[in-house]
Structure 1
Amino acid sequence: MLHQSREQTPHCALTAIEAHRAQLMNRIDSWVLLVSPQPLPTARVHTHTMGQVIDRLAQLTAHTYTALAAGPDEVFWEATEFVDDLAIAYTDLATELLAGTRRLPVTTTSL
């Protein structure tokens, strides 16, 4: 919902939406750190936090809905492919975190 609102909001009025997005990402990251097992010493660091991954998935989903409502079929199917690819990557990341073979960067998201 935030990303749909974001697409229809003038750039100069995005401050509240961006602050809310950053807050949600940070809450997700805190929760994931709390419930995830300790990663193995050899675990590789992922490039994004889980909050950032979920935010990106939400952004691409909103883009897909927009393409479905107002875009040509080709744009919709391309957007759907992006969402599918990211959903698979999200699932892989969650699996790796639970196995301890991947760690997340420790950062605070600010937009």
Structure 2
Amino acid sequence: MTTQLPSKDLLLEACSGLVIQPHPILQAAYELASLHEARRTADPATLSEIDSARARLAHEIDQWVIREPPRPHAAATLHTETVGMVVDRIARFSVDAHCTLDTAASEAHLHYAW
């Protein structure tokens, strides 16, 4: 069975807290972004718990990709990260970028974050 991966726009919306289309990767992206947000202010004693939850979600994404393999893009190349790892990284960067907007960051810092 061939299933579509969510678009980059839907993925970024999910990382921002808006899941419009029901899709397991979008739900996981939302949860990953929430965990990255919590990680920013978490007590150091809870960081391993948060990171374990992130690893579990990344693994769930990877398991979904194995069960529902998307049609490969003609120009796709072998990647060193799993889809779950990439979604986790995108969630982190999305949270970092939005948090930068909420602070009095310099123009250079805003440019780097976005």
Shorter-chain TM-score range: 0.5 to 0.7
1:13-24 paired onto structure 2 within 5 Å: 13-24=46-57
Gaps of 5+ in 2: 1-33
Q: 2:111 aligned with 1:77, yes or no?
A: yes
TM-score computed with the length of structure 1 as normaliser:
0.61
SS in 2 for 1:14: helix
Q: Match for residue 84 of structure 1? A: none
* Distance (whole Å) between structure 2 residues aligned to residue 8 and residue 21 of structure 1: 16
Q: 2:42 aligned with 1:9, yes or no?
A: yes
Question: Which has the higher Rg, Structure 1 or Structure 2?
Answer: 1
Q: 2:100 aligned to 41, 62, 67, which one?
A: 67
1:1-111 paired onto structure 2 within 5 Å: 1-36=34-69, 44-70=77-103, 71-80=105-114
TM-score computed with the length of structure 2 as normaliser:
0.60
Gaps of 5+ in 1: 81-111
Alpha-carbon RMSD across the aligned residues, in angstroms, is: 1.9
Higher relative contact order (CA 8 A, sep 6+): 1
SS in 2 for 1:36: coil
Structure 1 segments of 4 or more deviating over 6 A? Answer: none
**What percent identity do the matched residue pairs reach?**
32
SS in 1 for 2:102: helix
Deviation at 1:79, TM superposition (A): 1.0
Deviation at 1:11, TM superposition (A): 2.5
Q: Deviations over 1:57-107 (max 9, x none)?
A: 000011111111112232122111xxxxxxxxxxxxxxxxxxxxxxxxxxx
